[in-house]
Amino acid sequence: QDCTQKYIVKNYFYYYLFKFSAALGEEIFYITFLPLTYWNIDHSVSRRMIIVWSIVMYIGQVSKDILKWPRPLSPPVVKLEMRTNAEYGMPSTHAMAATAISFSFFIATMNQYKYPFELGLAAAFVFSTLVCLSRLYTGMHTVLDVVGGALISAVLLMLLYPAWDMIDHSLLTSPFCPLLSIVVPLVLCYNYPKLDYYSPTRGDTTTILGAAAGATVGFWLNNQYPVPAHTSNSFQLGFPLATSMMVVVLARSFIGILVVLLTRWIMKSVVLGLLCYRYKFPIRDLEARRRLEVEVPYKFITYSSVGFTATVIVPLLHELLGLK
């Protein structure tokens, strides 16, 4: 069995570097970087990243609970994280997400923006490598978990790449897109593999699929009623932004993140309150919140609202405030 260990930090550079790198594979990164790409860089790039991210993460999360490979034992490993310790280890979804996001961003932008190919490739490699190494440093995964996660993600990326344009076109134009974007993820969440004991994987998967579902509905709606898009004409990677443009980007980012976080807080409170009333349990009852009939709608509704807000409400607010 794992046990909590005390430890002494001897190299604070590595400690903070890899703690920060580990955060690049967690919710706080997803909820900021993916929307920032949509608001400030290019809608098509953001759409492709979200498509790849949601598919890769779902497969990774389900694979963990099917394979049921344990995480490294502590001792001898010292674990610097506790929340995900209840999950199984293989594959590392941090490694999968980092590989999928960094390389899908690189592939989606390399033909649209003017920057050295080698620089983009190196940046994607460094980003994914730092996240992978952080999982070893924090004691959460073995080398096999990390390598397996990165390789699975790379294979999925290669398989999805030829269908990117077709998937993107369908998401924007199909009249069935809003319905399928909600129904399919919900079916997957309610039929998530059953475990012998509770782990955060089902909740995290519901969070990811919910955010992707809300964003996808937003993509479709924006295509029916176009809003100003930020494309290569307004934002060129590799060249310094003018001071005025930088101010606009910072303003868009600050307002957008504030609205997204506010949406998450409000929806969490409202949805959880309604579910507490429906199923008659105290709001602080953690065990009740882990039940299937509570956890799935609670997280799905909350994060689909976040995804929809980020892709529809925030751009409209930007336009209203003159931050196009």
Residue positions annotated with a catalytic role: 94, 141
Residue 3: left if φ>0, alpha if ψ -120 to 50, beta else—which one? Answer: beta
- Give the span between the Cα atoms of 2 and 61, in whole angstroms: 21
DSSP summary character for residue 299: H
Is residue 140 a contact partner of residue 84, using CB atoms and an 8 Å limit?
A: yes
CA distances from 203 to 190, 284, 307 (A): 11, 17, 16
**Residues of 250-286 as b/e, b for ≥16 C-beta within 10 angstroms?**
eebbebbbebbeebbeebbeebbeebbeeeeeeeeee
Q: How is residue 290 written in tokens?
A: 């882990």
Half-sphere exposure for 94 (CA within 13 Å, toward CB):
33
